[in-house]
Structure 1
Amino acid sequence: MERTKSLLLCILLLGIVYGQRPNSFTISVSLFDQYPEYNPNFEADNSRHSGVIPGLVNYNLDPITKIPTLSPNADTVDGLIVNKPKFAYFFANQPGITDFMSYDLTFTLSGSSGIYQVDNQVFFPFDYKGFDTDASKRIYQDGDGNYHNFHFCMKMNSYFTYVGNEVFNFRGDDDVWVFIDNKLAVDLGGVHSAASKNITLKTLGLTAGNTYAFDFYYCERHTTTSTIRIDTNLAVKCLTTDYCGICNGDGSSCCNAAASCNDNDPCTIDKCPSVTTPGITSSNWKTFCTHTQMTCSQNNTCTNYGCVAGTCQKTSDKTCPALSCKTLDKCDVSLGGCQYKPKCVAPDACTNVVCNPTTQNCDSTTVNCNGTDKFCTDYSCDKTKGCISNPKTCIPQTGAAPCTVYSCAAGVGCQTKLLNSTECGCCDPTKTPKCKVATCDTKTGTCVYSNVNTDDGNPCTVDTCDATTGVISHTPVKCSGCQTCTQAAGGCTDTATQCNNGNVCNVGVCTNGTCSYVPNTCDDGNPCTDDSCDPLNGCAHTATTCPDLGLCQIGACSTTGGCGLTNRTCTQPTDFCQDVLCDPRLGCITFAKTCVPSNPDCQYGVCNNGTQKCEFHDYSPLPFGCNKAAVISTGVIAAIVVAGAVALAIMIFGGKKGYDYWKNSRDHKIASLNSNPLYTQNPASGNNPMYGNN
């Protein structure tokens, strides 16, 4: 009984025609001819190593390049990858190593099961093509001695909307890798005889109604056979065709920038055109190649670099900009670039010189050394030392009077005091030495002399008394280099403001009296601005442009984290029956919406733009097993077996016309009821669940 049911199911699956599905569909794929002399990974010695070798490629597929990459843990010995760098050219256009050709891969509906098939047991698409247009390269033969081109790779990039019941089965040789949603799903790497892999997409954790990438990679690498068979009900989509004629291609299959877009200028970066370029076609795409001038990052603050014969070289000294009221001293990289000196320099310490920014003239004035104490201090200017101050001498120019002491009182001025005979007899003012102070010791009656106090309380002056003249002076302290003296600091200290080379893009640093310079970073603490400095205008802060990653991730800047990426939002079509997705290579693409039924084995979806709804219809004839409420009796089973056999025979021997006639007669329940028990209400006194329209 079980064998009868299985046979019945097989016959029914063969006999059911899904009228809503096309008989075939074609996907334009990329083929890359290989030649063992150019890529030794083809026709490598397999006498000791062969068979399916999983793990040759990385699990994740780069969504931008769409080219599998060799795994760092790959068993390249058994996988016959004898030249690792050239694995990168299995699925890439590289003149001198590969030769590209577009190819229409046709999937044909197989029977009535809804499965589409590619089946070619002598698959040699490059015979007499590619490198084999050269007769001298036609040296490889099959087991019967017939010439074939056994060395090529195929790449198919597509999409599908997951409905929930998809399967993918493959059998063939050699390498086969299938990525679904950019994750490895079929791994049949290596040089091997025909090998199989079957996957049910329900096991992959996909969500019904979502559209996913489906990428298929196949290589034939060795004599003496080449076979390929695919069985699948995946409704793969060709959303767009590039200028190479490739479904969902990015132009890289036919365009190699170095060869296809070479403008013979070694100082330009040649790039293949984008497939989204308006007006681009298969006949004019080379005119849309871009050529960007090479930039040299070696530029420093004193030297210009440029491209010379394809390499960055020194082209000239950098021209330092003219600065107001400054004269160029030199350009020194170690000091931060252009160094300037003041245009106007005072001739001595008693002259102020100021540059007029309007006329650029040097205007001179005398240094004003007048101090605040006009009663007891004399102020003057020394051309070397600058402003100096001395205590006022109150002794008349004619000389001191006997027994008279001269002094100066703050806020009052010079004063005199006449000593009595005792005081004068003890310390005669006329006999007091210069820079000394006389004091009478009343106990001994003798005069005691001590040094005059010269300290003015200012740590930034050197206080002295001239032993010849008795004049007390307060001369400014001479600090070393970039040091200055302040009363607050109590002496000389390093002062960065003294290190000014006239270039605002240098930050002066004073260390132990010596200036050094570092570039002014102009850092404003904002990660979303590019900080720069111009010798004329100073710091500038422009908004940072964060780079995109592919066409679906947009560079965006956050003040907390700097540059990052956000997903591009594609504009949803106004047409209800259209959908949109973003391909990292192709950008936003609009395509026909797939309406996903809840039971995809029994129904298909149709998008109705008028009602703005998805409509679902039963397949006709309704597949076996879709009428859940029916109970099949033994008599019905026997009748269905007969009907199935009749349908199968009609399909096989009568061809499409005979089968179409049989199918069309279903609507009339077949004129002779006894000729088709499938559509008889009570065949063999049993209940027929297939009777009726649903």
Structure 2
Amino acid sequence: MRLSSILFSLLFAGPAAAQTTCRDLGQWVIDQRCTEEKPICVYRNGGQVVGGNRGHHCALCINSQQPNRFWQVDLDEGCDFDARVCVGRRPLAANVEGTACAVCVNSIPTTIDANDIDDGCPPEAPICVNDDGSEPPLRKPGTKCIADCVDTGYNEPDIGCPRNYPYCVLEDGSDPGFQSPGVKCSVCSPSVCDDGNPCTDDYCDPYFGCYSVDNGSCVCDANAVDWQCGDPFPFCSGVEFCLCDVDTEGAPFCWPNVSCEGLVECTSNADCPESTRCASTCCGEGHCLPECGGEIPFEEARVDGQPSGPTTTGK
């Protein structure tokens, strides 16, 4: 009787004992027989199950992003945007089960590389710290990300900022000043975005970089829409650039962007010296100007031959 009971147990318990508890259904979905709380099927040793295979149990998260040679910004599978990094009782190998999702991990000490990004932190706030501002031990989780940066004003990234977000700025995006601390890192700063063009207002988008908007203060090239005057394109300041409009006879005309003093006045091209044409510009109605890129020295088109510096006001 006892022997038959043992055989009966082996016969029916064997297949049941071999039956696995979950099956992989793909990334970022709840695997078969898993739950929202523990959505990922893993093997007995905690390794991720892939390819539709069966596993041993379900896990909360896996270390799907690290380790690799880049800092981690994307989410580990099973984690969310509030807590991006899957962690365990010890540092995890790649694609291995973790026990919790952390906001960030101190992946490299700032004493080794002050311009690195800790795992889980965004580039504008690259350093993982605890609530009290202290750094957690190496490869241990923290509770928030900050930018402990200083405007060093060198060609290298500001201290505390990563190389792709190299400028330390204040909350409003302005420069804190040389050797002064900022609160976040940015891809640009107002001083970097200033293109020196009085015709535009310059802005820094902390994620996409510099851009300029026509401020309407320069009307001299407002009609330059149907033609180009070569390289560079029309620009409203600086003696090395051209402006494009029409001469007094309505023909397309490009001239060097120059100061307004000492110009020869005119009412038609016939009033102008050879190789110059008459145009109304931001300097006022009717002045003789050379062709942009022409051979005539600009001083020869002036009354006094003395340049006085660029202007966009005509005063």
TM-score class, shorter: under 0.3
> Normalized against structure 1, the TM-score is what?
0.12
Q: Which has the higher contact order (CA 8 A, sep 6+)?
A: 1
Using the size of structure 2 for normalisation, the TM-score is 0.22
Greater Cα radius of gyration, structure 1 or 2 = 1
